[in-house]
Amino acid sequence: MTTLLHIDASARARSISRQIGAEFAQTWRAARPDGRYLYRDVAADPVPFIDQGWTELCDAVLAAGGTDLDRLEELAGTPEQAGAWALVQPLLDELRAADIVLIATPMYNYSIPASLKAWFDQVTFPRMSLAPRRFVVTTARGGAYSPGSPKAAFDYQERFLRDFFAGHYAVTDTVFINAEMANARVDPALAQFRDSHDTSLAVALSAARALAEEYAK
């Protein structure tokens, strides 16, 4: 059974990143009625930041030579580590169960929301591979950050996530679907870019549907 894990991270209930992520999820679920769908909203139900117990659990993983996901519970040898593991386990179980991980996230201050970073921190341990899972990231950006745009160098959202997936999870099968110029909806100074935003969003929704159909095969 193929499993899709869907993570939402926007603080806006009616956000653009959520809309594009939902387009992917709905298309995939329609094409794979036999598939399993898991959902987590890290904005509405925040994951706590890592604490001292987590750092001690991480040290135990390092001392054991790296992450063996099946031995993490065994390595939690102190009450503090056991407490950290009790929080990590359900999050990690969802991630490990997934064949496809769909992350819908806005760009906040050139990067990702703290709520999404907190989730990553909880489910990431040294020398931990998640290959061959596929990652799909649907994003919304207030401005334009695509290659060649004046602010392309400020895109620490996609750059961070690509480096993170490759460096920590050994995952290079990642597709980004970005909708840009979202602030043209609300900022009068950007009103001239509303058509550009509408086009970008339409392209992103179409790309999400097409990719979901491809991944459902």
Q: Within the chain, how many helices (H) and strands (E) appear?
A: 7, 5
User: Which residue type occupies 35?
Assistant: G
From the centroid of its chain, how far is CA 190? Answer: 28
Judge whether 17 is annotated as a binding position.
Answer: yes
Residue 126 sits at the vertex; the CA angle it makes with 168 and 70, to the nearest 5 degrees, is 105
User: What stretch of H or E contains 197?
Assistant: helix 194-215
Q: In angstroms, rounded to a whole number, what is the distance separating the alpha carbons of residues 180 and 172?
A: 24
DSSP conformation class of 192: G
| Preceding omega of 132 cis (within 30 degrees of 0) | yes
Integer CA distances (angstroms), 26 to 18, 43, 79, 169, in order: 12, 20, 41, 26
Judge whether 7 is annotated as a binding position.
Answer: no
Judge whether 15 is annotated as a binding position.
Answer: yes
Binding-site members are 10, 15-17
Binding-site members for FMN are 10, 15-17
